[in-house]
């Protein structure tokens, strides 16, 4: 295919930089801003990925730090259509920024 041939020519001209560096997850309390960032939820059955923070850190009535999150699918639907997502409040100590 013509597109594959062009890609091959371009690929030979580009330098190789190696694999991208791995990212170490950070606790949300260490992050200056959260809204819109990809986060990982720590759950008893494992980690939940493809989640976005939709709030900054806030303190609930019990004095615990919290963050509101939505699935990544709902986040982008909300951004494009303004359809309100199902927002879940999660304890900040169990949320990591990707």
The pLDDT tens digits for 23-81 are 899 999 999 999 999 999 999 999 999 999 999 999 999 999 999 999 999 999 999 99
Confidence of residue 95 (pLDDT cuts 50, 70, 90): very high
In a domain, 87, yes or no: yes
**Across the chain, what does the average pLDDT equal?**
91
Share above pLDDT 90 across residues of the chain, in percent, rounded to a whole number:
77
In a domain, 43, yes or no: yes
In a domain, 9, yes or no: no
In a domain, 84, yes or no: yes
In a domain, 2, yes or no: no
In a domain, 53, yes or no: yes
66/92 Cα distance (integer angstroms): 5
Domain of residue 85, residue span: 25-97
Determine the pLDDT at residue 56. Answer: 98
Task: Render 9-73 in DSSP notation, one character per residue.
Answer: HHHHHSPP--SPPP---EEGGG-S--TT-EEEEEETTEEEEEEEE-S--EE-TTS-EEEEEEEHH
Q: Number of structural domains, the chain?
A: 1
In a domain, 38, yes or no: yes
In a domain, 62, yes or no: yes
- Model's pTM, two decimal places? 0.78
């Amino acid at each position: 295919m013509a597109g594959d041939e062009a890609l091959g020519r371009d690929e030979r001209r580009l330098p190789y930089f190696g694999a991208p560096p791995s990212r170490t997850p950070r606790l949300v309390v260490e992050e200056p801003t959260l809204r819109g960032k990809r986060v990982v939820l720590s759950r008893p059955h494992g980690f939940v990925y493809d989640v976005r923070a939709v709030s900054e850190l806030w303190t609930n009535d019990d004095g615990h730090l919290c963050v509101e999150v939505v699935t990544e699918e709902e986040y982008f639907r909300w951004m494009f259509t303004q359809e309100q997502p199902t927002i879940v409040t999660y304890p900040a100590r169990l949320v990591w920024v990707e």
